[in-house]
Structure 1
Amino acid sequence: MAWRMPSETAPHERTWMAFPREGLTLGSTPAEVEEGYAAWTAVAHAIAAFEPVAMVVDPSEIGRAKRMLSADIEIEIAPLDEFWMRDVGPTFVVDDDRPGVLGAVDWTFNGWGDPAWAEWQKSAEIARFVANEVGAELVSSPLVNEGGGFHVDGEGTVLVTETVQLDPRRNPYADKARVEAELARTIGATHTVWLPRGLTRDYEEFGTRGHVDIVATIPSPGHLLLHAQQNPEHPDHEVTRELRALLSQTTDAAGRAWEIHDLPAPRAIRDEEGFVDWSYVNHLVVNDGVIACGFGDETADAAARDILAAAYPGRKVVTVDARPIFARGGGIHCITQQQPALEEVAR
């Protein structure tokens, strides 16, 4: 077997999400709780305009999910605690030697390094649940990893971050060679590009310590979309400059130097918690569309839509307010997981 993760731009069968449930992540006040439910629901409905959506719902939330979600969204019931589907769900892969076979990588999940606040034991089983629901072959991995911690081009290249895959709270015995070997086995990565770190806020208490999916993504082979913090008052101004310089010295699996496209951050640099990590990089590509993060900055949101439209020709870019999602630790890409359409990705 030679598993390969297709590019996120390959046609999808559906997108998977997980419906929020009450707890620390969702919020502590009634207003915060309702805001969280509304944000996840808005993303689901935006995606459903382009492709099917399957929503995993905890038994305690079935009534609310049925009230809030349109009839077009398929509900699957399973116990949940965390509901960041990109991280707790499977990474879908294909086998080019066996057309029509879908694989599902079940990474080991420990709540982003098992911090004291995280409740993750139930959601650690979600990858297996989803794999069973779609009839995918399970690809079990001992690597503690999350879907937001890497990006691929579908042609052998993978972007990762040293502070995620080499995190001693995730993989205390790992080194780059071991991580690269496991990424080759599970998702078909033949060339790994290591970023030294992620954005500043991601290293605070509720962060992931460097997920790449708010930093950089590969819209097409040989091209990078890179978060650009243009305000020198924000610590990520220097971080993103350094990452750009590093990436300009790397190549993809085919040996091409990257054509790097800056994706400027919105103008706001702080919220009530401190410096924000608001990033337009954290978008979801869907069939014929892109679901983009919005941050209430009409000028910056529009500029991001233009850049994304140019990066993904022929796709309609739709903006959904992502501030409530970022306030809880992630963005639109973080709460979604695409399932490839097998008949389209088979070579």
Structure 2
Amino acid sequence: MPESGFHMPPEWAPHARTWMAWPSSGYTLGDEPEEARTTWAAVASAILAFEPVTMVVDPVAVADAARHLDPRVNVVHTPLDDAWMRDIGPTFVLDEAGELAAINWIFNGWGAQEWASWEHDARVARFVASQAGVPVFDSPLVNEGGGLHVDGAGTALITRTVQLDAGRNPDWDAARVEAELARTIGAERVIWLERGLTRDYDAFGTRGHVDIVATFCAPGRVLVHRQDDPGHPDYEVSRAIADQLRGEQLEVIEVPAPRLTHDEHGPVDYSYINHTLVNGGVILCGFGEEEADARAAAIMADAYPGRRVELVDARPLFARGGGIHCITQQEPAV
């Protein structure tokens, strides 16, 4: 069982590869499917400069994927509903002997949202684990990889509006969630943020994933989104989160948002926090603002010493409800 010494490594630990899923249907493709395909391919290409990439592709999209992907991307096939690998894929854990296993959370379309389908995506974690050749531990918790971060030293960071969401875990309380995180990923301390960013509660949001607002960059240190426009609802939200984390005796490094604050749908959630780490690098969301992107890249270079920061335009991802972290999932090196 996972409680016998298994733990979730931090994202800065060495990777064997990064897993992704190819956009092939649904709202992820949206009105501009070619934009989605080129963006997913650009993220994969950026990661390839640092480590292998395996792309899960629906059999109906094999030709599309082949036209867009670097031939060095390893491709495997299984039916998909969507393409957010962070959430539909497994959470990998290691035991004290360095053996790898996978946690299979229950996935139900981010709380059984009306627009979501998950018949196929609910099986992806087991498929990825089988491709990786590792044993699977099932969890009764409805959860997604974007809903948690760990520091590698026993602390997990989550939000009350995800794990305690009535659409996910209506009969769970905080104590039961904490016990399950201890059993599955080795969490000894759980920090509960009250909520996530405002846009994440819109129709196509996740109801508060932590991976867009705060992440560990080392034990005891967190990177936190900061919105500087007083007219944006996240101005207060981001400050409350930073204050809470300081109260948890963590060192807080605030990462300012880009200048664009609103689009045709309302306040945006453009956030540099939703980056992914790779061996020797950081794949960072870019938003087409030279000054803001450069400032965020410099903060990341300081936060992750010795890693090269690569920017990829993430605006098409955010338009679809996520970012770079949301479409990637690391497999730890054994």
Q: Which category of TM-score, normalised to the shorter sequence, fits these structures?
A: over 0.9
Distance 1:87 1:123 in 2: 9
Equivalences for 1:267-282 in 2 at 5 Å? 267-282=259-274
State the 1:25 CA deviation: 2.3
CA–CA separation in structure 2 for the residues paired with 1:35 and 1:287: 27
TM-score by length of 1: 0.94
Work out the number of aligned pairs and report it: 331
Structure-1 residue corresponding to 2:74: 74
Deviations 1:111-148 (A, max 9, x none): 00111110111011000001111111101001000000
Give the counterpart of 1:137 among 124, 135, 138: 135
Indicate conservation of the 8 Å contact 1:7/1:154, yes or no: yes
1:119 partnered with 2:122: no
Aligned counterpart for 2:26 among listed residues 23, 30, 49: 23
8 Å contact 1:3–1:186 — kept in the other structure? yes
Shift in Å, 1:287 = 0.3
Structure 1 unaligned segments of length 5 or more: list them. Answer: 251-256, 343-347
Query: Match for 2:205: what amino acid?
Result: G
* Paired residue type of 1:236: D
Match 2:177 to one of 179, 186, 204: 179
Matches within 5 A, 1:157-172: 157-172=155-170
Q: Deviations over 1:181-214 (max 9, x none)?
A: 0000110000000000000000111100100000
Name 1:296's counterpart in structure 2. Answer: 288
Aligned to 1:91: 91
Aligned to 1:25, the other structure's residue is in SS state helix
Alpha-carbon distance in structure 2 between the residues aligned to 1:243 and 1:22: 35
258, 263, 269: which one aligns with 1:266: 258
Q: Deviations over 1:312-331 (max 9, x none)?
A: 00000000000000000100
Of 1, 4, 7, the match for 1:4: 7
Q: CA deviation at 1:274?
A: 1.1
Please state how far the C-alpha of 1:273 moved relative to its aligned partner: 1.4
Q: Provide the secondary structure at the position in 1 that maps to 2:252.
A: strand
Q: Distance in 2 between matches of 1:212 and 1:269?
A: 20
Structure 1 contact 2–185 (Cα < 8 Å) conserved: no
What residue is the counterpart of 2:202 in the other structure?
204
2:333 counterpart (332, 337, 341): 341
Amino acid at match of 2:5: A
Identity among equivalent pairs (%) = 60
Unaligned runs of 5+ in 2: none
Deviations 1:203-261 (A, max 9, x none): 111100100000000001111100000110110001011111111111xxxxxx21100
Is the Cα contact below 8 Å between 2:211 and 2:325 reproduced in 1?
yes
CA contact (8 A) 1:14 1:53 kept: yes
Q: Secondary structure at the match of 2:310?
A: strand
Residues 131-178 of structure 1 deviation map (CA, whole Å, 9 limit, x = unaligned): 111111101001000000000011100000000000011000010000
Distance 1:115 1:123 in 2: 14
Residue type of the alignment partner of 2:44: A
Deviation at 1:24?
A: 2.1
**Is the 2:25–2:82 Cα contact (8 Å) retained in structure 1?**
no
Per the normalisation by structure 2, the TM-score is 0.98
Please, which of 299, 307, 323 is the counterpart of residue 299 of structure 2? 307
- The one-letter amino acid paired with 2:306 is G
One-letter amino acid of the counterpart of residue 74, structure 1: N
